[in-house]
A and B are shown apart, each in its own frame.
Chain A
Amino acid sequence: MEAILGKGLEKRYGKVKALDGLDIRVEYGEIYGLIGPNGSGKSTFIKSLLGIVRLDRGELFALGRRAPSKALLKDIGYMPQEPALYYNLTVEENLRFFGKLYGVPRLEEVVEEVIGLLRLEEKRRELVESLSGGMQRRVSLGAALIHKPKLLLLDEPTVGIDPVLRAELWDYFRRATKEMGATILITTHYMDEARRCDRVGFILAGRMLAEGRPEELVRGVGAEGLEEAYVKYVKG
């Protein structure tokens, strides 16, 4: 059974085809990277899983159930592109608010746990607006983790972040999968991040070009690295 299974997904915005028959398969417990340039349909796919965007066609399942559905949402964590936090609340208050939305039991303990996991102890009582961009992303990840979701959707979580902070965030993604046993779907256009994934999917113009382990994809087209492999898949 797959954590996410999509078949023939289609979505149009006016004349633009954001998803054009996308097929995707994400296995339980893995970090799956959806790799493609801006406008390739990555965000649209994530939003369709959450019901923020309505699909025109196709079949979509998550955690063994048809998606999107309201019942499914409590098992999914979502980190949007923007930090998507309340800037005039403190770190703790943000985490508590999102925890309440999910009806997290023993919320205070869980907030402590997440603050510990993301090493936010020193900033916990600071307003989010006063935090650095990297720190805001960490809180944003915390808000996505607060209800211990089985599936974590990270939409370009590292865009515009310097390489050091990106490496640090990846460390947290790994910890989340290990300590919470979550499956992660992450979208990015950074090839160095693709290497960190268990499996990746190359997406372009709303279609899946190839799916597999990074090294398989590189070998499959006789490329030197992932970047070259992507270009080769694009050229067909």
Chain B
Amino acid sequence: MSDGRTYVESPIIMATVRLVAPFVLTYGLFITLHGASSPGGGFQGGVIVASVIVMLSFAYGIDPTWEWLDKRVLVGITSGGIAVFAALALGPILLGTGGDFLELGSYPVIPNPWKYGIELVEVGIAMTVAGVVIVLFFQLARGAMPPGGSPYAKPSAQRVPSRSRGEAAQPGTESADQSGDETADQTGHEVSDEPVDRTDTPTDADSSATDSGRSTPVDDGSDRPSPADEGDDRR
């Protein structure tokens, strides 16, 4: 696309990146996992891992790299990181061992629960940071493309729904009924006589339906299942 203006294929850069990338990735993982015993941790490690992708996209072009990336994996690690952290934080309460929120030391069975709990939290942080940095990079690099010349609109717009659904459902148990509500609202928003059958308190459903319709137009677009998305986005 318009990428040809800025992207110059260079065999030197490509070869160098191919050589260096695995080492950088390993270093990022090392920084993440060794954060408990030496300087480092999830934030730094995550950024270094993300920089591997940034490097690849400099060598092989931003658009091809974006096409090559599996967006589901990207969304999976981004929201999965938060989910891991939240789950580990809630774990001590849910297990009923008398631990408080985030009291990682109260996990039973695991040897040295504080240390390995902290390591796991670091991994979660690294996942989120890496995912977000990759997303930020590609969005900023591709976002300013002239309207009409946007190759990303079609393939990724269809993946958005499954993506945001996964996010809504993942973080912990308490949000499960909330996301259920949301989908009910959405169908209610589109088909007007549905919510009365579905929910036992029509007034509540009504108010929240208008709320979601008014305040979150973006949600509205991205949360719909993909077949409906096709027709709607084109309009």
* B and A form one assembly: no
A residues lining the B interface (CB < 8 Å): none
B residues lining the A interface (CB < 8 Å): none
